[in-house]
Structure 1
Amino acid sequence: MKIAIINGPNLNLLGNRETNIYGTQSFETYFETLQAIFKDDELIYFQDNVEGNLVTAIQQFGFNADAIVLNPAAYTHTSVAIGDAVAAVTATVVEVHISNIFARESFRQISHVSAKCAGVISGLGLKGYELAIHYIKSQAVPA
């Protein structure tokens, strides 16, 4: 399977930023772990801090990948455009959040993306990405 992992703003700082919430591992290091676990799949990683670039990536991968694991980060709570992009593509999209957004500030409990996704994994740390990929693979129709 071809699965794109798309991360939003500030996730390029994983391992350095608010380690009490997000942990001490960089996503690039974790991505190597994912590639080792899912060695028979093509995993693509994209991260950007700019909303429009994330919309473009969702559109690009949403029509040429089997699925997207999406962590829109802070844009979850503000971006109608990202939610609309998810609704427009044919790929299955699973939303992932490293922290439990429902146990944080009230504004973080609003999502403009979740209703457009196949599911949401929140609060399980980086492990949420692996679980999202397992779910995606479990839903795949054999060729």
Structure 2
Amino acid sequence: MTHSILILNGPNLNLLGTRQPEVYGPTTLQDIENLCVTQADALGFTVVFAQTNHEGEMIDMLHAARGTYDGVILNAGAYTHTSIALMDAISSIMLPVIELHLSNIHAREEFRQTSYISKVCIGQICGFGAAGYPLAMQAMADYLGDPL
């Protein structure tokens, strides 16, 4: 039996590759999904990759993850800094969640340095661009341990 993880991306990440490439780089969300599929194969994971611009839909996807996945990697985008509802959803699903950001939120504007969701995640990876996704997947594999 292999581990199954949800990689959930939030608002505006569908515009990667064209949105502020000086901050987020030239890599598209499809490129990142391809990286994740390759990493999932290497780790023996099954992975579902999703993106939404809607906070309520993110919450619904997190609720649905309970009992379906072994863990979640979450790039909540701007909702990281604003959503108590998202924080509550993470704490309610009783799954390990890794917070992920392409940019280093701690080196950006002051409002981006606050993360509501970090309080309920097992860890945070930020500042490594697209390479952060395979790093988060390896961290999740280490956290979950051997699926056998």
Fold similarity call, TM over 0.5: yes
In structure 2, how many angstroms separate the alpha carbons of the residues matched to 1:130 and 1:73? 18
Q: Which residue does the alignment assign to 1:113?
A: 117
Q: Find the residue that maps to 2:98 and give its secondary structure.
A: strand
* TM-score (norm. length: structure 2): 0.92
Q: Which amino acid aligns with 1:72?
A: A
Greater relative contact order: 1 or 2 (C-alpha under 8 angstroms, separation 6 or more)? 2
- Unpaired segments ≥5 residues, structure 2: none
Q: Secondary structure at 1:126's aligned position in 2? A: helix
Deviation at 1:30, TM superposition (A): 1.9
Q: Deviations over 1:69-124 (max 9, x none)?
A: 00110001110000000001122100000000111110111111001000001111
1:36 aligns to 2:38 (yes or no)? yes
Amino acid at match of 1:51: E
Partner of residue 18 from structure 1, selected from 17, 20, 28: 20
Cα distance in 1 for partners of 2:144, 2:60 equals 25
Q: How many residues align?
A: 143
Aligned position for 1:136? 140
Q: 1:63: Cα distance to partner?
A: 3.0
Give the letter aligned to residue 46 of structure 1: A
- SS of equivalent residue, structure 1 residue 17: coil
Q: CA deviation at 1:27?
A: 1.2
SS of the residue corresponding to residue 63 of structure 1 reads coil
Moved over 4 A (4+): none
CA deviation profile, 1:34-86 (whole Å, cap 9, x unmatched): 21222131110111001100000111113310110001100011100000000
Distance across 2 between alignment mates of 1:82 and 1:38: 26
- One-letter amino acid matched to 2:114: I
Residues 39 and 137 of structure 2 are in contact (CA less than 8 Å); yes or no, is this contact kept in structure 1?
no
Q: Match for residue 79 of structure 2?
A: 75
SS in 1 for 2:50: strand
Structure 2 counterparts to residues 49-128 of structure 1, below 5 A: 49-128=53-132
Separation in 2 of the partners of 1:123 and 1:61?
A: 26
